Structure 1
Amino acid sequence: MKSSAAVALTGTSSAWRVHLKLLGMAALWGASWPAGRVLAQALPPMTAASWRFGMALVMLAAWLHWRGGLGRLGALSARQWLGLAVAGTFGVFGYALFFMLGLAHVPAGRAALVVTTNPVVTTLLAAWWFGERLNRRIAAGMAIATAGALVVIAHGRPWTLLAGGIGLGELLLLGCVATWVGYTLIGKRLLTGIDPLTTTAVTAGIGLVLLLSSALLFEGPQALAAPMHAMASVWVAMAFLAAGATVLAYAWYFEGVSALGAGAASAYITLVPIFGVLFAALLLGERIDTQMALGGCLAVGGLGVMNLARRPSA
């Protein structure tokens, strides 16, 4: 039999692996912004999103089959299928479209900081609609994070927002916020009883159908075939978004939720904009100006306060 010390050491090692995977998840999601920027500048937005989720769906379907989940699709209720359809429309089709359109106008680092408002808006609406917990510390964190995001969106001059001082790219990125919040809240209401892997795979498939249809209708078959003639860097970015930012990052996130709980795992998402800015600077040579640094520190600090405030007291 193993000694108690050996068991404790094994448990500690396993916990460290989980934390490292969650750190990797945050890095992968952060790196998705510069990768998306590469695609947005090389391909039409719906075409780029279609190829990304097409590649991801193949991998997700294989993963779901390996986990024995394909057979469970027939057991889903009509309400659950409705929830998956709406979630796929918002969380995949809508988010991917605004993601690509926004990155065509806004540098990747700035874009990653703009969407730090995601958890703020989600928390506010969840407290209003579902009566979720909202205390003073969470509210303070939300205020700090929102102030930071406004500094980034308005290029260091938040007072200009009242005079229309916000660009098209920032408006499109706020569409990312709206669609992701809708996806999250719809999931809470309609996707009860569906495991995360099934939800991710099915919503990716539904979103892909909508993306492909839109690409054919608005961009045409010739545009949809454009990746076949793209540079190697475009294919690397697309493969990374499909395999790294979609499949592997979700796998590590699910493992973290299972091992540590949803609250502890989701706290790592606070690091995503930091990695987004760093990778944009390292890979694309984007400049980190004073306004971005200040707004980013405020946004990430506010998210950290929110996550700490959600943890139950000892």
Structure 2
Amino acid sequence: MNSKQSWLITGLIFAILWPSASTATKLALTEAQPLVVAVCRFGIAAAIMLFISHVILRKRLPQRSEWKQLAIYGLLNISVYLGMYVIAMKEVTASVGALTVAASPVFISFLSFFLLKKPISFPILLALLVCISGFVVVAWPLIGEAAVTVRGLTLLILSMFSYSVGTIYFSSKKWEGLHLLTINGWQTLLGGLFLLPFMFITYKKEANHFDHDFWIGTTWLAIPVSIVAVLLWLKLIKQDAVKAGLWLFLCPIFGILIAAILLKDKVSAYTVVGVTLVLTGLGISHYGKRKFRMPFSRYIFRD
């Protein structure tokens, strides 16, 4: 297999796995409460990553201030972001969820100019507005059918802002050569532990059925999405960070196709228009960042 074929296969698998998270989440949520799904997902993913990092690869443990950084990063990137995301997915369709996740680089670009105290560029601001318009267009007819709620859509968008803040925080800290799997493993474990008290407080035994749908959805989120998709993304950006960004344009399409096939999500004219708007926003952001390139662009996908 030559490098071009490897690039295409890697990118295609990534573009399928990354947006599949919304469908897997909806599947798991049919049998369990949101925070139960989240905590189980994080536990599985963290155990695998830390086993590989410390037992197989024998990488060092975090030291001193790194624990504080991991805790803050885990709080933003796991507890708040994915905690809100999984709750929101209870009230939105998998298609809307896939669109939001695929557009995450736009949110990161937007917030970076505020948190890093840089003037915001017009292309990034326009991209954010276009992407949010796309979410609203897709969700609009579904709100009347109760398939999407305003609260769910709001939580989903807010979760992306938390994810963006977490990514910017990560990029601003020095990790002293701490291995990527070590960082991901510990921040995932700590973030899950922060959610544990809330899971116990809200736990309802009758609402949780740990059957095959729960385990299929949760395991898919933990391994193909949280681990494999991230590693594929890092491989893509290592070869060519600019070209890697182009694979993001396929994510909304695959996400909606997966939801339509497995969950029977409706694909209407609103869906097509909304996807077009999100893709347009991604395009504006992608080409706008060539002029305003961010030092942390390689860390867009962390979980």
* TM-score, structure 1 normalization: 0.80
| Paired position in structure 1 for 2:297 | none
8 Å contact kept, 1:196–1:254: no
CA distance in 2 between counterparts of 1:102 and 1:15 reads 39
The count of aligned residue pairs is 286
Q: CA deviation at 1:90?
A: 1.4
CA-based RMSD of the aligned residues comes to 2.8
Aligned pairs (5 A) from 1:161-200: 167-193=150-176, 194-200=178-184
8 Å contact kept, 1:156–1:291: no
Aligned match of 1:57 in 33, 46, 49? 46
Q: Which amino acid aligns with 1:85?
A: A
| Paired position in structure 2 for 1:233 | 213
CA 1:45 to 1:25, structure 2 compared with 1: closer, same or farther past 3 Å?
A: same
| Paired position in structure 2 for 1:68 | 58
More helix by share: 1
8 Å contact kept, 1:114–1:152: no
| Paired position in structure 1 for 2:260 | 281
Aligned match of 2:273 in 287, 294, 301? 294
CA distance in 1 between counterparts of 2:58 and 2:4 reads 26
CA 1:132 to 1:195, structure 2 compared with 1: closer, same or farther past 3 Å?
A: farther
CA 1:196 to 1:131, structure 2 compared with 1: closer, same or farther past 3 Å?
A: farther
Q: CA deviation at 1:137?
A: 4.4
| Paired position in structure 2 for 1:255 | 235
Q: CA deviation at 1:112?
A: 1.9
CA distance in 1 between counterparts of 2:187 and 2:9 reads 27
CA distance in 1 between counterparts of 2:44 and 2:75 reads 18
CA 1:244 to 1:167, structure 2 compared with 1: closer, same or farther past 3 Å?
A: same
CA distance in 2 between counterparts of 1:121 and 1:236 reads 30
Q: CA deviation at 1:189?
A: 2.0
| Paired position in structure 1 for 2:195 | 211
Question: Percent identity at matched positions?
Answer: 22
In structure 2, runs of 5+ residues without a counterpart are 293-303
| Paired position in structure 1 for 2:115 | 129
Task: Report the secondary structure of 1:42's partner residue.
Answer: coil
| Paired position in structure 2 for 1:160 | none
Q: Which amino acid aligns with 2:107?
A: V
Q: CA deviation at 1:138?
A: 4.3
CA distance in 2 between counterparts of 1:113 and 1:121 reads 13
CA distance in 2 between counterparts of 1:192 and 1:269 reads 27
CA distance in 2 between counterparts of 1:46 and 1:240 reads 16
8 Å contact kept, 1:91–1:180: yes
Q: Which amino acid aligns with 1:55?
A: I
CA distance in 1 between counterparts of 2:232 and 2:258 reads 20
CA distance in 2 between counterparts of 1:309 and 1:67 reads 39
CA distance in 1 between counterparts of 2:181 and 2:265 reads 35
8 Å contact kept, 2:29–2:214: no
**TM-superposition CA deviations, 1:200-244 (whole Å, max 9, x none):** 111111012122232123316x479x4xx5332221111111111
| Paired position in structure 1 for 2:5 | 16
Is 1:148 the counterpart of 2:142 in the alignment?
Answer: no
**TM-superposition CA deviations, 1:253-304 (whole Å, max 9, x none):** 122222223x433442333222211100011111012212101111112202
Q: CA deviation at 1:127?
A: 1.8
Q: Which amino acid aligns with 1:218?
A: T
Task: Report the secondary structure of 2:265's partner residue.
Answer: coil
8 Å contact kept, 1:38–1:234: yes
CA distance in 1 between counterparts of 2:36 and 2:180 reads 26
* TM-score, structure 2 normalization: 0.83
Q: Which amino acid aligns with 1:177?
A: M
In structure 1, runs of 5+ residues without a counterpart are 1-9, 158-164
Q: CA deviation at 1:135?
A: 4.7
CA distance in 2 between counterparts of 1:267 and 1:187 reads 23
Q: Which amino acid aligns with 1:174?
A: I
8 Å contact kept, 2:130–2:280: yes
Task: Report the secondary structure of 1:202's partner residue.
Answer: helix
